[in-house]
Amino acid sequence: MKHLHDFSQALLVLILASVLVSGCGVGTPTPAPTSNPVLTTDMNIVSASARLVPLQWANLSFSTGGQDVEILVQPGEVAKQDQVLARVNQIALKSALEQARINLQRAELAYRQLKDLPSEEAVAAAKAVLASAEAAYDQLDRNNARQIDLDAAQAQVDSARLSLEAVEAGASEVQLESAQLEIDAINLAISQAQSTLDDSEIKMPFDGQVVEVYYRNGEFAAPAQPVILVADLSAMQVETTDLSEVDAARVSLGDVVSITFDALPDSSLSGTVVRIADKASAGSAVNFTVTIQLNENPKNIRWGMTAFVEIKVE
């Protein structure tokens, strides 16, 4: 009986062990480990942020400043090359130019008179003066005048004779050179007055558009301070703003570029690298500006719009 009891206990232990082992296997199977997804990167693409800028633009100012600014255009107005956009008070400047021109006429007349010497009129006048002096001397001599009076009369005769000789000899080279120098000096004054008058006007440097006006009519314009911002908005280009030195070293002139504007997310433009800056841009990071020429100039793009560029490099 004892052996039968022991056998029963052993069998019971085996059954319980089997049940426990089976219970441990119940539940959701542990999934097999999988690798993380890998982001693929095209090693032949260099990307950067960028902005849209005009091909031509300029901040215009008065070189010498002036009173009573007169603005002749408005922002958004189209202007042709050499069109006057603004001016300062020109009354005093025009007066100075006119006075210089009058001075030139006088100097040229004086030069011509010297060059035409001796004229018949001048010679006749000098001879008349000499004859009058000689007649006065003869009159005194016939009347037995005092010696002191005769000496004075003789001095008048000598002076008149020298004057006649000078008139008959004509103008000297020194006199002509001096007269010509006077003309040259006045011409220089006219040139300076004209330049000052020209500087009192701001003219359009190229065909384009007025973008911003910084002054109001009647204000004082300080020298070299921007008065009007102009640009040719018909021809735009893209400049990178954060292209690193590592990526800039991979870019070459002529590389093809894909451009996407933040304001036009559904359209993509193409372009070509036309310039790579020789010097890093100002700032804490070392970035180089790359200029990209657009193959087309679509509507609805504005100066300063942000963009994203992808440059295909070798």
Given the candidates 2.40.50.100, 3.90.1150.10, 3.40.50.300, 3.40.1380.10, the CATH classification of the domain at 56-88+203-231 is: 2.40.50.100
The pLDDT tens digits of the residues spanning 120-160 come to 888 899 899 999 999 999 998 888 888 998 899 899 999 99
Q: In this structure, is the dihedral angle defined by the CA atoms of residues 239, 245, 251 and 257, taken in order, positive or negative?
A: negative
The pLDDT tens digits of the residues spanning 58-98 come to 999 999 888 899 999 999 999 999 999 999 999 999 999 99
Question: Is residue 132 helix, strand or coil?
Answer: helix
Torsion region of 103: left, alpha or beta (phi above 0 gives left; psi -120 to 50 gives alpha) = alpha
The pLDDT tens digits of the residues spanning 288-312 come to 999 999 998 878 889 999 999 999 9
CB 292 within 8 A of CB 39: no
Total-model pTM: 0.64
- % of the chain residues with pLDDT over 70: 87
Given the candidates 3.40.50.80, 3.20.20.70, 3.40.50.720, 2.40.30.170, the CATH classification of the domain at 45-55+233-312 is: 2.40.30.170
